[in-house]
Structure 1
Amino acid sequence: MACATRAVAPAQPCFIAADVGGTNARVSLVRTDANGALQVLSWQRYPCADYPSLAAILAEFVEGHPAREGIDCMVIASAGVVLDDEVINSNLPWRIKLAELRDSLHLRELHVVNDFAAAAHGVGRLGAADTRLLTPGVIAATTIGPALVVGAGTGLGAAVCIPTGHGVVVLPTEAGMAAFAPGNAREMEILAWLRKQGHRHVCTEQLLSGPGLVNLYRGLAELHGTLATLQTPAQIVQAAQQDEALALEAVLLFCGVLGSVIGDLAMITSAHSVYVAGGVVPQLIDFLPRSEFHARLVDKGAMRAVQERIPVRLVENEKLGVLGAASWYLQHLHARDHREQATPRPATTN
């Protein structure tokens, strides 16, 4: 494992770890044992669109748990940033109000961590059976180094996990907002089409996400002078599986862009390994070998020899987000305890 999270805290009471995305919220009750091993006691997935707020989801989870009276700490992994008392994220169906959560759930502690920062904390908790190698023949690096975690879902997210002697340092990013760089003539045409739709800044996630796959399909339809009849990523993937020409072209184009962007991010972060977390990629697993995914991943000029040695793995454990949020919280507790122990106490007199 290129980036491992150490067990950094003694046994703790139960707390809630949640992974909130644009489509689903995954909520768990977790604790650690005396050895620092993380235990997921219960876990539930909630479709976000079925609830009026995150508070309603969390209240339902807590109410359904026998130990609810003792649950007063929560850590939430969510895309976006915290501004004052609110999580700013355009991909969620509702706003997250921190004061509302604290009051309605009677919380003593509430923390919000970037969703991909949480995922980066979580990769050290994964076992061999939790991932699938997307770069056959490439084995793990023999030296410890940064791990890149990237995922294309409602948007595009990425974070970097850097191992240290005292746990890990995780750097969240806004990689999805970076300007899209076309890699061939067709992608230049798609870029021009998106600009015609009124987008002055065409960011990478406008192509590399669930909605991005729809953009690719619609753009290709206009370039071919045909009608775009499919409306959702799932419909496009299903049609591509049946070799419908336009849908297949869109999916293969998506896979090529994915390889190119992962390659760029791996170079920028000096990653020794890459983890692709959830989103739409698991639905495209059979298309990757048919696409330019690997060719675009390694085609980085003088850095090709380096890129060819970077293993890329698909994370197949749906609990990654909650494991990562919980791991972040445990490291946070360890750092807080260390600061408190290091603070000199005032002298007392008899």
Structure 2
Amino acid sequence: MRMSAAPRLTAAVNASEGSFIAADVGGTHTRVGLVRPGGDATVAVLAHRKYVCADYPGLAAILAEFIAGNGVGVDRVVIATAGVVLDDEVVNSNLPWRISLSQLRSELGLHEVLVINDFQANANAAQCMAPADSTLLTPGVGDSDATAGPVLVIGPGTGLGAAVRIPHGNSTVVLPTESGHTAFAPGNAREADMLRLAQQRGQTHVPTEYFVSGPGLVNLYSALCTLSGADASLRAPAAITDAARRGEAIAREAVLTFCALLGSVIGDLTVISGAKSVFIAGGILPQLKDFVPDSQFHARMLDKGVMRPVLERVPVRLIENERLGVIGAASWYLQHLAQTAADAEPAPRHPMQ
């Protein structure tokens, strides 16, 4: 089941009614929303648009076009993107251009620009979604099997992102990760051959996202073609997926291997984080989800030795909503405002003082 058009997303704040911009910046697409606190502590998306990153010289051009197109004046922007902020810049190998926070403030006349990890945003959005708003990828393992605890949110897009949402009192703490840059771990001889081939081609460090991401599917297909002595004629994930649906053998092997690898990575991260449930947030998987039942996705997720009985109780759900990152970034920002206001409150004085 696809997510409803108006997901139940809680900001849990008492913020001003001013609108601001939330942007979900990926290596291929940037999604921008004009948002504000909605009624009953929700995030209201007033306008939304998706842009192709390669069509613009930088993020400032995208935001300027969005602001002009909606005829509003805003001075606050929160950006969800992969990578980390180092001094004034976002460190991200998948973006087509650099992001300088001071440059954005200067060019667009902004008062405030904040950046959070894209999967930190996704985790903030996913935490309020009901089971009916997503597709269950682990038949027979639903929410009734899961127990309270951390939640893993992961997604293979231009790279591989993940975050862990951890219960903390009456609230939650979201721990962003750079799991896509961990070392790729093959699970069988064929995948070990893929790893050796990547190393022979000059990859001294082969990250997980080299095979488990949108571009990773292309790398995976290319490796399998080389190992099979065939010509790697397909250059895009969509072309590989279409060929797999037509029954082209290597393309189908590539897609099924991709699903198996994703399952294995989810199993690893679930064991590491102690997650009790998993959400896959968009990325390339919605285009591949019909292959998941025929793949080793769940079997590889469970194949973690003595941890198998634990993983057998972990449900995995696929979220499909292009606004997820925008809403998550907005939700995080509203919580940030609330926490800032709470921190500014003077401590209560003792009656004897």
Structure 2 unaligned spans of 5+ = 1-8
Aligned partners of 1:125 and 1:61: how far apart in 2?
Answer: 28
Alignment partner, residue 117 of structure 2: 114
Would the aligned equivalents of 1:10 and 1:34 in 2 still touch at CA under 8 Å?
A: no
- 1:321-348 deviations in Å (ceiling 9; x for gaps): 0111011101111111111003589xxx
Contact 2:22–2:35 (8 Å) recurs in 1: yes
CA distance in 2, matches of 1:214, 1:127: 34
Aligned partner (choices 238, 259, 265) of residue 261 of structure 1: 265
Identical pairs, percent:
58
Deviations 1:123-150 (A, max 9, x none): 1243444311111111115643111011
| Residue 251 of structure 2: aligned partner | 247
| Structure 1 contact 77–325 (Cα < 8 Å) conserved | yes
Of 116-125 and 53-62, deviating more is 116-125
Deviating 4+ runs (over 4 angstroms)? none
2:70 to 40, 55, 65: 65
CA contact (8 A) 1:49 1:93 kept: yes
Matched, 1:16 2:57: no
Is it true that 1:100 corresponds to 2:106 in the alignment? Answer: no
Q: Distance in 2 between matches of 1:190 and 1:5?
A: 43
Alignment-derived partner of residue 175 in structure 2 = 171
Q: What amino acid maps onto 1:330 in structure 2?
A: L
Q: What is the TM-score when the length of structure 1 is the normalising length?
A: 0.93
Task: Output one character per residue of 1:95-148: Cα deviation in whole Å (capped at 9) or x when no partner.
Answer: 111112112222111100011111111112434443111111111156431110
Superposed CA offset, 1:190-247 (max 9, x none)? 1111111101111111110111111111111111111111111111111001010110
- In the other structure, the counterpart of 2:41 is 36
Amino acid at match of 2:109: H
Q: 2-side partners of 1:19 and 1:257: how far apart?
A: 26
Distance in 2 (alpha carbons) for counterparts of 1:343 and 1:22: 44
Q: Which residue in 2 is equivalent to 1:348? A: none
AA partner of residue 131 (structure 1) = S
Aligned partner of 1:325 among 315, 329, 342: 329
State the Cα deviation string for residues 288-319 of structure 1 (Å, max 9, x = none): 11111110011111111110111101011111
1:164 to partner: Cα distance: 2.3
Equivalent residue for 1:88?
A: 91
Verify the 8 A CA contact 1:72 1:109 in the aligned structure 2. yes
Deviation at 1:38, TM superposition (A): 1.2
Q: CA deviation at 1:34?
A: 5.3
* Post-superposition offset of 1:11: 4.3
Q: How does 1:182-331 map to 2 (within 5 A)?
A: 182-331=186-335
Q: Which moved more, 1:137-146 or 1:83-92?
A: 137-146
Q: 1:166 to 1:111 in 2, by over 3 A?
A: farther
Please provide the CA RMSD for this pair.
1.6
Alpha-carbon distance in 2 for matches of 1:48, 1:200: 29
SS of 1:211's equivalent in the other structure is helix
CA distance 1:99–1:331, change in 2 (3 Å): same
CA gap of 1:299–1:151, structure 2 versus 1, over 3 A, is: same
Task: Measure the CA separation in 2 of the matches of 1:63 and 1:191.
Answer: 47
Residue 35 of structure 1, CA deviation:
3.1
Q: 1:258 & 1:138 partners in 2: Cα distance? A: 18
In 2, distance between residues paired with 1:34 and 1:288? Answer: 38
Letter paired with 1:64: G
> Which of 124, 129, 134 is matched with 1:131 structurally?
134
CA distance in 2, matches of 1:289, 1:34: 40
Q: Distance in 1 between matches of 2:277 and 2:204?
A: 34
Q: 1:107 to 1:166 in 2, by over 3 A?
A: farther
Corresponding letter in the other structure for 2:231: L
CA contact (8 A) 1:131 1:317 kept: no
* Equivalent residue letter for 1:119: N
Q: Secondary structure at the match of 1:208?
A: coil
Matched, 1:25 2:30: yes
State the 1:10 CA deviation: 3.4
2:241–2:251 contact (8 Å) kept in structure 1: yes
> Is the Cα contact below 8 Å between 1:5 and 1:167 reproduced in 2?
no
Q: Where in structure 1 are there 5+ consecutive unaligned residues?
A: 346-350
Give the TM-score normalised by structure 2.
0.93
Paired residue total: 340
Which AA in structure 2 matches 1:55? Answer: A
